Structure 1
Amino acid sequence: MTTKFYDALQLDPSILKRRIAACETKKEKTFYRAAMAVRSALIVAFAILFISLLSGLFGADNTPMAVALFCMLLGIRFVNFEYCAGDSLAGLAAALAILTLAPCAAAQAGPALVAPLHFAAFFALLFLTSQRPEMGNGGIYSFAYIYLTGNPVAGEALARRGLMALAGWLVCGAVLLAKHRGRHADTRFHHLVRRFRLSRPECMWQLRMALGVSLVLAAGQVFGVERFMWMGFACGSLLSEYSLPGSAAVRFWQRIAGAAAGCAAFALLYLALPAGLRPLLGPLGGFCMGFCTDYRYKTAMNCFGALMIGAGLYGLSGAVALRLADTVLGAAFGLCFAALFHRLSRRLLPAADPAL
């Protein structure tokens, strides 16, 4: 067995599952299965420690920013911004400023300004961080923006959120330099600005994501939809697919099926467990995520943490009903928007990538 256990812990679950399938001995299969379990447990333990520490320092009302920073920290270890380290540090600072200020500003904006504000902020965020959508950065920063939009703060809490973002910039910036120093050394950020063209597939993807997500978030805010960020998650998840039209309907039904299965599993466990053990359902969902490679199962496990919070606000049945309703609305909007965007882009920009 040539792979070290530490090295196996660094592998994605999809890679670990492929290696398990290719193993010829029971010992090798046990090795990789143990690595998958330990990897998942370590991520959950680190998440609890990291988020608890930041929440303790900067206030429980800023826990959503701590969650966003945790996701960014995990992602930035493997994926950079595709431009030089110095500019990347500045880009990271700008991204964190957007995540800190834009969602809170949108919460105070009038109905006519909500969608333009979200669009400008979200597009800038994607352009700063996601030049290669297939690497998954778009999903991380999309999640962070939507989650913070659903949890705005003001006044002194906003100041503490800014300080947390500064702490996050120091930590994530250090990891970025350690892992990616020297990469793309000849590419400056202004080079990306100069070569921006809607005929480029990554630029069209950024536009599609920003426009679709900003519209669904604005609609949720203006019409007062409860937990409208769940609509945003469903829509953003569907639109984050790089080559979308051919898989939009498939991903739509996978999202619905995953949400239904996750809500059912959560409800059964919630009712079966004593009240004192129910808070463990959130970490349980995170642990199970470490074994998931299929989009449906990831969607199901993502329900656990959301429903644990929702159950405290709306009761179990209310949280489940709201989760399902918001998911259907967000995914349906994303599906219709993707089809319309694809048709208009093909008509107005015939030279654009047909996959978009």
Structure 2
Amino acid sequence: MAYRLSLLDKALIPPGVSPAQSLENTIALAQRAEELGYHRYWFAEHHGIANLGSSAPETLAAFVLARTSRIRVGTGGVMLQHYAPYKVAETFNLLSTLAPARVDLGIGRAPGGMPQATRALRSAPAGAKPVSFAEKIHELEAFLTASLPEDHEFAGALAAPQAPTAPERILLGSSVESAETAAHLGWSYCYAGHFDGDPDRIGRVFETYRAITGRTPLLAVVAFVAGTDAEARRLVGTLKLYRVRLSTGQTVNVGDLAMAEEFARQSGVSEYETEEVTPSVLAGTADHVRAELDRLHALHGVEEFIVDSPVPGFAERLASLEGLAREVIANPRSNILQTIPA
């Protein structure tokens, strides 16, 4: 089986551990991942959540780039709706100048937090015209490639410095529409199976992206390795997610029904619907998780998995990424792509 392994980190802050120590542990995990041969190390973006330290993933990425030498590092992803595309382009052009051919710019459209945090992030003047995600992502691509039309309102604004190698652009999503957007932009695409592991939906999205580009999306999954299947399942726990559809048309994924109710309240909405969605969770011994990855590879043609291991303990997460690397990356039968440069 031929596929790469990469990692997604939320900079978890376990109970009783200081944020400073937790972030040091996060850096240590990234450095160990590089030693073990993982292909990428991404940081998610979350706001206003006390046990997550990844509120500024581009800052964490910069720090890890400075403390590593080979592994690709980036965001999974920047929540573009909160920011000016010009500033995002400047930030990632700068990172790509500092670390050529090692920077990933992953973009997502979710809020990454509750509505109050979203309002605090945007702080838009009253009456300001809202800008759609589609407008922002096309504008971001134009800034990154210095290709703004001459009649654009920001024509002439250079997102300096111009990097010798542009950051790889990846759109994160779980829909046919987002796959089409990525394909038409010429971007890579990562299906968020760690949020929605429905195999039929994964298949449709993969087919859509592959038909347009001839390339295969990345697949994000929850995967965790321990000494026994029972221990792995105990540490991961029962992961449930709920898709909330507000009467305004907004859709967001949250961790439980109480969060769904609070999201609606902060949004000023009394009517909403919830749907339980099942993330792709692979938990067990190393050979069990590898068998599940092999199955997904065979089913969908996955060439790279982005592994999310949502267990707060540093020692347990370190043991998991080491065990998975020994089983998959260090095994010549299954790591053909691991040794091929991006």
Q: Same fold (TM over 0.5)?
A: no
TM-score by length of 2: 0.28
TM-score by length of 1: 0.27
